[in-house]
Chains A and B, each alone.
Chain A
Amino acid sequence: DAGVIQSPRHEVTEMGQEVTLRCKPISGHDYLFWYRQTMMRGLELLIYFNNNVPIDDSGMPEDRFSAKMPNASFSTLKIQPSEPRDSAVYFCASSSSDSYGYTFGSGTRLTVV
């Protein structure tokens, strides 16, 4: 398995633009998590899905953030409109209910200027 695949690896965008981050989880994993990592706040859970259904989105900072999981092999995190304070590394992770460890993707480094 190629692991959790995220794209793009780097994204630089201007304030006000829409940003879409993508994630392909490991095949067979039924949990998918979106985290944001910054120096100040560390790793923050934004939202997670179980069997493609959003379970807890209480970590989504504002209505500007939205996430979807249309099928078991794909999820998106969208920020619209983007702001400089959204600059961070965004990680997608997946897991199976048969085990407890998460498998993380390599992350998307987002810079909003």
Chain B
Amino acid sequence: SQQGEEDPQALSIQEGENATMNCSYKTSINNLQWYRQNSGRGLVHLILIRSNEREKHSGRLRVTLDTSKKSSSLLITASRAADTASYFCATDASYSGAGSYQLTFGKGTKLSVIP
């Protein structure tokens, strides 16, 4: 079963605009990660936010986490055509000790950035 659910399923914006994607999850987590997948390629790790963090930045990416609402958002500022991809959130909810974990992925948000 899917732990994370992204919203919206698809998003189309103009180049230069900001893109916001949301992720909701069901159980307590240790950390939440965001990945990007370009068409026909594997997923690429973007950013990780731990359960005790509320916000994190990496370049044009900004991630927030609200554990009370079990939700996270990914903001891409000043979007570019090259940002066109699917974006997935993944949660680590089965941590059982040092070095033991697995990620559960949502179904993703398909972002289209129009030049």
Contacts and interface: CB of A to CB of B under 8 A. Distances in A.
Nearest to B30: A100
Interface residues of B, number: 23
> Secondary structure at chain A's binding surface: helix, strand, loop or mixed?
strand
Interface of B: 2, 31, 33, 35, 41-45, 48, 88, 92, 98-108
A38 to B, nearest CB: 10
Contact of B103 (A30, A102, A105, A107): A102
Contacts of B100: 50, 55
Contacts of B105: 35, 42-43
Contacts of B99: 30-31, 50, 97
A42 B4 CA distance: 11
Interface of A: 4, 30-31, 33, 35, 42-43, 45, 48, 50, 55-56, 91, 93, 97, 100-107
B102 A104 contact: no
Given A42-B105, A45-B102, A48-B102, A103 B45 contact: yes
Contacts of A107: 41-42
Given A42-B105, A45-B102, A50-B100, A100 B31 contact: yes
